[in-house]
A = this chain, B = another copy of it.
Amino acid sequence: MTTVLPKQNAMVLDAPVDQVKSTKPQPKCMDVHLGNSARVRKPNIFKLFYKFSKIPGVYQLSEGLPNKKFFPVAEVNASTVNFDKYTKHNEAHDSIVAKGELIESTLQYGQAGGHPELAEWIQNYVDRSFDCPYEGGFATIMSSGNTDAINKIWQVFSNEWRPELPVELREGIITEEFTYSLAAECARVRGLNISSVAMDDQGVLPEALEDLLANWDFSKGKRPHLMYTISIGQNPTGATCGIERRKQIYKICQKYDIIIVEDEPYWFLQFDGVFENCYLKIDVDGRVIRLDSFSKNFAPGSRLGYIIAQPKIIRHLWNIAEEATQQPSGFSQMIMLETLKKWGFDGWNSWLGGLRNEYQDRRDLMVDALTPYKYINDNLVLDFKKPAAGMFVWVKVQYDNHPLADKFSHLEMSRAFWTMNATNSQPVLVTPGYFFAPSLVDAEHMAPYIRLSYANAEKTNISKWTDGFGRNTIDFWNITDPEQMRQLAADFPEA
């Protein structure tokens, strides 16, 4: 095991432009979109002395580091499964070991970008996986998970707005109609406008996006310069964006100069052998920031992910990391690194393939179990599509077809339906769609949606559990007493 000096990230970030002629364009400078804090943030002053610290035999009285000899952990071992556990039903366990220099370097203060050796693995994996359409290549930086990454990106690329400021200065982000709630929430609390765009099973509708931007209501503030999208196996709707749709949307983002933040924790969970392109691969301008995570394909508790973007953008994220999380956990990094080294690129891809099969099986079991309940007495009740990726089936409950439809609003019915599910003889917990609404302006419109997750159940349970939901639906459809409906709606837990 060799120690890799912090060369690669430094090189990628600060590399002079390649002198060799290339047909690729230079990435565009995105500085116009920087928030004030990113503009004035300085890189770490200690960097000045870096070359001096490499003088052989130098007496180091400068660094305020604790003494690495006092780290009480001498060695960390982990028993890991084999990468072909799911593809080849290989039940063998492997063992990884972190000791010596790796222990000392991952447990000491380090670079904000993470341990150089793991950073290099990630950079190489990214370079192999995605062909960069612009000159100079992608840069990468580790995050403490995608939520951490989103929060940092909003901080770099937006300014807080407050009512004392002229509304013309109010900035905004665009999200899908339903989205990961924390991404919207951490923009909302900064006073940003959240504009959500209508979507279908491929995500954002290009014409709706164009309409929003072309007819932007400047009385609300600036036209948004950031778009947040989960374009593969979207949470919560399961939508997956195809390449043609993607090109249309990218073109609109070029036209209105919008930075695309693609949050792709479900990227590896694309089913049926179909792999969609990502925004990163069509991004000639360097306007895409991609978030990848080990949360869904290794473990959420690793709090480890990585961000891919043009080098100048990554430099800003690096600088903010120095003021916030610094590097991700050394324990996470050492275990991740040793596992990835043992498995290699191909092993890692094989592991992802195994997970893909497992989740695909679960999707199929859920969809199969749900299908018989789609109609009651020839009336559409549960409207859903088979998701092409991810962890979720997104169901629209057709309350209009309920016998008591004329007596209750969709919102009341959805509350009653949730409570019925949670308290019926076989309780089933589901997630109301409005949990994923970036804003609650149109509750009635959002009320009919429900997210079902097939991720966390065992195969043996999926059919039974989904069937439970189906039977609760029938029971719900059998309610004819308005008083019972009213009571169920009233029992819905409220904030």
Contact = CB atoms under 8 A, between A and B. Distances in A.
A79 interface: yes
B302 A72 contact: no
A298 interface: yes
Contact of A328 (B48, B51, B74, B329): B329
Contact of A469 (B59, B422, B457): B59
A64 B392 contact: yes
Interface stretch (A37-45, A213-221, A255-263, A381-389): A37-45
A431 B452 CA distance: 56
Contact of A36 (B61, B162, B235, B323): B162
A360 interface: no
A206 interface: no
A359 B165 CA distance: 51
Interface in A147-203: 147-148, 151, 159-160, 162, 164-166, 169, 181-182, 185-186, 188-191
Contacts of A65: 300, 453, 455-456
A81 interface: yes
Interface string A416-455: 0000001000111111000100000000000000011111
Interface in A322-339: 322-333, 335, 339
B299 A71 contact: yes
B428 A182 contact: no
A16 interface: no
Contact of A72 (B81, B303, B461): B81
Contact of A327 (B78, B85, B303): B303
Given A37-B189, A323-B151, A465 B61 contact: yes
A468 interface: yes
Interface in A10-68: 36-38, 40-42, 45-46, 48-49, 51-53, 55, 57-68
A330 B236 CA distance: 25
A351 B42 CA distance: 38
A70 to B, nearest CB: 6
B186 A66 contact: no
Given A58-B428, A451-B64, A300 B73 contact: no
A107 B67 contact: no
B71 A458 contact: no
A77 interface: yes
Interface string A297-323: 111111110000000000000000011
B355 A62 contact: no
A70 B465 contact: no
Contacts of A49: 422, 429, 493
Nearest to A427: B58
Contacts of A46: 431, 435
A494 interface: yes
A451 B169 CA distance: 43
A61 B148 contact: no
A113 interface: no
A295 interface: yes
A95 to B, nearest CB: 9
B391 A66 contact: yes
Contact of A428 (B42, B61, B110): B61
A76 interface: yes
Tell which of A169, A296, A329, A457 has the most Cβ of chain B within 10 Å.
A329
Interface in A86-118: 86, 93, 106-110
Given A191-B37, A427-B52, A495-B48, A145 B299 contact: no
Interface in A353-404: 355, 358-359, 391-392
B74 A79 contact: yes
A75 interface: yes
Nearest to A469: B61
A128 interface: no
22 contacts: A36-B162, A46-B431, A51-B493, A55-B422, A61-B429, A61-B466, A64-B391, A65-B453, A67-B359, A67-B456, A71-B301, A72-B83, A72-B85, A73-B80, A75-B78, A107-B299, A108-B300, A147-B324, A148-B326, A151-B323, A162-B165, A302-B329
